[in-house]
Structure 1
Amino acid sequence: MIIEVSGLRKDFTVTTKVGRLRRERTVVSAVDGVDLVVGRGELIGYIGPNGAGKSTTLKVLTGVLTPSAGRVRVCGLDPVADRTTLARRIGVVFGQRSQLWWDLPLGESFELLRHIYRVPAAEHAARLRTCSDLLDLDGFTRTPVRQLSLGQRMRGELTAALLHGPEVLFLDEPTIGLDVLSKQAVRGFLAELDRRGDTTVVLTTHDLADIEKLCERLVVIDHGRVVHDGTLDALHTRHGSRRTIVADLDAPWPAGQTVPGAAVTAVEADGTRVTLTLDGRAAGEVVAALARIVPLRDLSVQEPDIEDVVARIYRG
């Protein structure tokens, strides 16, 4: 396993004012008993509300913060004790922080990083060519970083994090503030990275479209604890999400009509439009049963909304 976390806890001491002269100290657990195992080549989504412990977990995994308790191994190393060695084996992109040189052209930042990580010139050139092709960098590598748009800079940040060939890539809000085209470019790049299977990716984001498009496995953390670790389908099943079929008919839906033999939990009719809520099984049998009852004009299958499910978890 590339990441192994057992019983991780990270405490912070918070000082609050009590009266005019006194100060009271309180210990707050930002991460409280997290267990996480990630295999080589996996791309996982790590999500939660603000203050849930996502960024704290990433900072512990990258050696920025020392855990208060628990066992943490990344690439077989202790992130704090072996921080310098680990830095050469991981890549990190934080949406609000830059690893590029503000006044230098983007290409010169890449060259400086080659020397910092001591990457052979041939390897560096090959990786840069791959990233340039996938992220369309050629049009602005000679532009100073301070003059790049947010989307261009994020594409540069992703490239910079990968030029030394890391085994693990940690991404904290990589699409925050990006326009639609830039988001598509970043998602496409990450999907290709996942397809190749050379790099493990841990993605934290508030944009749940990133999760739906990229991640087969989803880890949800809330109040410092993992409340879900599994697939999106398992999340929907666990929290009662259901697919729906919306059908437009040539005639009004018969009053009191059911759909015999089909996996339907609810039927809502409004004139010639009927909405069927499925029990989680395939929609094909329901559509066939529906067609036997009334002539169909149009039909759509709507997937459950992940934002609604996650919002309910957060509220709970």
Structure 2
Amino acid sequence: MTLSETGRSSDPVVTADGLGMTYRAPVRHSGPGAAFRSLLRKEHRDIEAVADVSFAVGAGEIVGFIGPNGAGKTTTMKILSGILHPTAGQARVLGFVPRRRQHEYLTQIALVRGSQPTAGPAELTVLDNLHYRRVLYDVPLSRFHANVEELTHTLDLATILGRQVRALSLGERMRAALAIALLHRPRVLFLDEPTIGLDASASAAFRRHIARYAADTGATVLLTSHYMAEVEALCPRVILIDHGRLRYDGSLPALATNLSPYKLLRVTTADSVRAVDWDAYGQLDATDSQQVTLRVPRRDVPAVTGRLLAEVPVADLTVADPPLEAMMDQFYRAGVA
């Protein structure tokens, strides 16, 4: 299925117009004979990583850019940050063409990749790297000290500021990379799996900081993450990409409606659940001594809720969408057409 609900800003900061990226990759056959022949006659095949992707993101928006592994998310991020040149279409960020990599453009954006956290030269301490960043991005000294103080508190940097980057763990390196990326107060943040390696407490602190940063500065944030709880916490809007193509652009609640035709009714009863014919109300999903979970078609939820309250000794009743993680897992497994 192809999902559709556009959610474009009238005053975009980030625009992608028909973006495409095709790689030319060598074909390698197994065996010594094939290896020798490949020296004389090289074979290649085209890999379409991104195909005709278009969207727009406005100032102050925090947008989740989601999809399965290999969907084209990181490739799109690299195009928007200017690391890759698209083979089709065009991109604009803050009015700049990213691939030109102008200094004025680079000082207004930041790209953070959780898979390759860059915390600066490994021989320098974290604080030295922050000073180095200050010089590169012309950050006034007074603003530098204020920003470092805020980032130290938010990302718990106090114990690692004086340590060499090479001696940091993955989680510590990730926190340092985030601090360095945010030091110059970028107007656009490209966050590619930014909380890889962070524990639950650090991840929560990071989410709070990003939400507050976007609210206070009006920064635009494009976030890729496989942690749906992170997307739910930060992103009112999501863009879903699969096999290099855009499949959905809209709100999270609307995506949930598209992905799942049912809701979950969790019913806690005053008496044993065994005395009730639950099949008369919906599909039984889970049960224990005094609580059941029913799958009920969305259109039937009001009527079924009313019947339950009238006919069953209900102590508590909640209505919820299925967990987003479960819905996305089902979606990725089924694929889209």
What is the TM-score when the length of structure 2 is the normalising length? 0.83
Q: Which residue of 2 aligns with 1:128?
A: 148
**Structure 1's 194 and 228: CA in aligned 2 closer, same or farther, altered over 3 A?**
same
2:207 is aligned with 1:181:
no
8 Å Cα contact 2:17-2:89 kept in structure 1: yes
Deviations 1:210-258 (A, max 9, x none): 1122111111111110111111111111122533122232154444774
**Structure 1's 148 and 281: CA in aligned 2 closer, same or farther, altered over 3 A?**
farther
Alignment of 1:76-155 (within 5 A): 76-95=95-114, 96-155=116-175
Q: Which amino acid aligns with 1:306?
A: L
Alpha-carbon shift at residue 198 of structure 1 (Å): 2.3
2:82 is aligned with 1:63:
yes
- Partner SS state of residue 164, structure 1: coil
8 Å Cα contact 1:253-1:294 kept in structure 2: no
Q: Percent identity?
A: 37
Deviations 1:62-120 (A, max 9, x none): 11111111021011000112433321110111112314232222111111110111111
**Structure 1's 172 and 255: CA in aligned 2 closer, same or farther, altered over 3 A?**
closer
Alpha-carbon shift at residue 174 of structure 1 (Å): 0.9
5+ residue gaps in structure 1? 260-265
- Partner SS state of residue 17, structure 1: coil
Alpha-carbon shift at residue 305 of structure 1 (Å): 1.8
Q: Which residue of 1 aligns with 2:309?
A: 291
What is the TM-score when the length of structure 1 is the normalising length? 0.88
Give, in whole Å, the separation in 1 of the partners of 2:306 and 2:275. Answer: 16
- Partner SS state of residue 58, structure 1: helix
Q: Which residue of 2 aligns with 1:263?
A: none
Give, in whole Å, the separation in 1 of the partners of 2:244 and 2:146. Answer: 40
- Partner SS state of residue 2, structure 1: strand
Q: Which residue of 2 aligns with 1:307?
A: 325
Alignment of 1:275-290 (within 5 A): 275-280=293-298, 287=305, 289-290=307-308
Q: Which amino acid aligns with 1:290?
A: L
Give, in whole Å, the separation in 1 of the partners of 2:72 and 2:208. Answer: 27
- Partner SS state of residue 238, structure 1: helix
Q: Which residue of 2 aligns with 1:262?
A: none
**Relative CO higher for 1 or 2, CA cutoff 8 Å, sep ≥ 6?**
2
Give, in whole Å, the separation in 2 of the partners of 1:124 and 1:208. Answer: 33
**Structure 1's 139 and 281: CA in aligned 2 closer, same or farther, altered over 3 A?**
farther
Deviations 1:113-163 (A, max 9, x none): 101111111222222222223223233322222333333322221111111
8 Å Cα contact 1:241-1:304 kept in structure 2: no
Give, in whole Å, the separation in 1 of the partners of 2:24 and 2:279. Answer: 62
2:316 is aligned with 1:268:
no
Q: Which residue of 2 aligns with 1:7?
A: 18
Q: Which has the higher helix share?
A: 2
Instruction: Give the aligned length.
Output: 310
Give, in whole Å, the separation in 2 of the partners of 1:140 and 1:284. Answer: 54
8 Å Cα contact 2:117-2:174 kept in structure 1: no
